[in-house]
Structure 1
Amino acid sequence: MSDLAQARLNMVESQVRPSDVTDVRIHDAMRAIPREGFVPAGKAYLAYADDAVEYAPGRVLLKPRDVAKLLQILKPAEGETALAIAAPYAAAVLEALGLTVTRYDEGDLKSPPGANYDLIICEGAVARAPASWTGALGLGGRLGVIEREGPVGKACLYVRAEDGIGRRTVFDATPPVLPGFEPEAGFAF
């Protein structure tokens, strides 16, 4: 077994499984997908660290624990459609689980392509999920995103129901905020 394959196995066994990620489909996909392929050349050693890893200026792969937990709360199902916003690794995991994934990683990221997605995931933090993202969900659709206005963010699950959008927080996480999604400065005494 190569060093990177061993690192992948260790990532699942030491960062993902102990974090209450019980969906074995996610374990299997994360064990199989070479995460080092999503980071710049020369940074493969960072791919399996317990940290967010920059893959492009201002864009990161979430910590393995955080992306696994976010994927699990979204309850992906084979045959569903997904939108992966600044989330190339999450997109690969979703594809391995049998979803049809649209990757959205260019431009300002505020105007998603298409609509009626069953699932939307973002690997960067935002101050608050834009209405354009929740508006791209189909009925029963789920959005997983980390909202962060201070030192600690909250992973949030949004669900579109017939009577509107529901939101709940699920766990704490600290990824960097995506450029263009920073909290607005407010007036304070």
Structure 2
Amino acid sequence: MTDFAARRRTMVDTQIRPSDVTKFPIIDAMLSVRRENFVPDAQREAAYVEGLLDLGNGRCLLEPRTLAKMLDALNISNDEVVLDIAPAMGYSTAVAAKMAQLVVAVEEDEELATEAQTVLMEADSDNAIVHVGPLEQGATEHGPYDVILIQGGVEHVPDALLAQLKDHGRIACLFMDGELGTVRIGHKSGERVTWRHAFNANAPVLRAFSTDRVFSL
């Protein structure tokens, strides 16, 4: 029988800590959330490997290192409301829920959303909500948000999503330029979002956030 708890410890010790992520809430969340439960059954054995986990249909689970470094840069506190875009089966939502007051997950794939809701309930993530709808539209009824996370590559971020960020809120996005990706943290002041470079990473571009999608509308 696979010792997933040991694999979680190994993931933290070999992927998270060496990436200069040492904040206790992040380490504790990644040690306690059972990542293997948030992937398809056929991929449970690969849940803790280093690298992207392909979920099919252009979707993936971000590298543990990438998610951890995003969370580190965002510095979520326990009185904040988080919007988690495209979490698939909800792993990132469960991790963020260990740190935030409330996490609203937006998933456009109804099957993934249903699975996410089930697994989050089983994980006792009582402060997480799964909203089914277009990724780029967010979830205005639960906002505005202190923090927004996008679980995949983007080429642009719609104004409609940025409008759901509170004044002085933060957003983490993995901007892709061809094969090169950069995670940037945006800080909102008034109506303006100022971006700064955080670190390099890679992920497939989510269709909802591709420039081709913008031009086709």
**TM-score under structure 1 length normalisation:** 0.91
- 61 and 2 in structure 1: CA distance in 2 versus 1, 3 angstrom threshold: same
**Match of 2:111?**
none
> Counterpart of 2:137 in structure 1: which amino acid?
S
**Which runs of 5 or more structure 2 residues have no equivalent in the other structure?**
109-132
User: Partner of 1:142: helix, strand, or coil?
Assistant: strand
Could you tell me how far apart the structure 1 residues matched to 2:79 and 2:57 are?
Answer: 32
> Could you tell me how far 1:99 is from its partner in structure 2?
2.5
The alignment yields a C-alpha RMSD, in angstroms, of: 1.8
Q: Map 1:99-138 onto structure 2 (within 5 A).
A: 99-106=101-108, 107-114=133-140, 115-138=143-166
**Which runs of 5 or more structure 1 residues have no equivalent in the other structure?**
none
Could you tell me how far apart the structure 2 residues matched to 1:116 and 1:182 are?
Answer: 24
> Could you tell me how far 1:39 is from its partner in structure 2?
0.7
Residues 129 and 147 of structure 1 are in contact (CA less than 8 Å); yes or no, is this contact kept in structure 2?
no
Residues 39 and 54 of structure 1 are in contact (CA less than 8 Å); yes or no, is this contact kept in structure 2?
no
Could you tell me how far apart the structure 2 residues matched to 1:98 and 1:170 are?
Answer: 21
Residues 33 and 92 of structure 1 are in contact (CA less than 8 Å); yes or no, is this contact kept in structure 2?
yes
Q: Map 1:30-179 onto structure 2 (within 5 A).
A: 30-55=30-55, 57-87=57-87, 88-106=90-108, 107-114=133-140, 115-162=143-190, 164-179=192-207
- 53 and 6 in structure 1: CA distance in 2 versus 1, 3 angstrom threshold: same
User: Partner of 1:141: helix, strand, or coil?
Assistant: strand
Residues 38 and 55 of structure 1 are in contact (CA less than 8 Å); yes or no, is this contact kept in structure 2?
no
Deviation digits for residues 69-121 of structure 1 (CA, Å, limit 9, x no counterpart) = 00111110002101100122221111111430111011431111123100010
Q: Which moved more, 1:168-177 or 1:48-57?
A: 48-57
User: Partner of 2:196: helix, strand, or coil?
Assistant: strand
- 2 and 41 in structure 1: CA distance in 2 versus 1, 3 angstrom threshold: closer
Residues 81 and 118 of structure 1 are in contact (CA less than 8 Å); yes or no, is this contact kept in structure 2?
yes
Runs of 4+ in structure 1 displaced over 3 angstroms?
A: none
Residues 55 and 61 of structure 2 are in contact (CA less than 8 Å); yes or no, is this contact kept in structure 1?
yes
How many corresponding residue pairs?
185
Residues 158 and 167 of structure 1 are in contact (CA less than 8 Å); yes or no, is this contact kept in structure 2?
yes
Could you tell me how far apart the structure 2 residues matched to 1:145 and 1:36 are?
Answer: 24
> Could you tell me how far 1:64 is from its partner in structure 2?
0.3
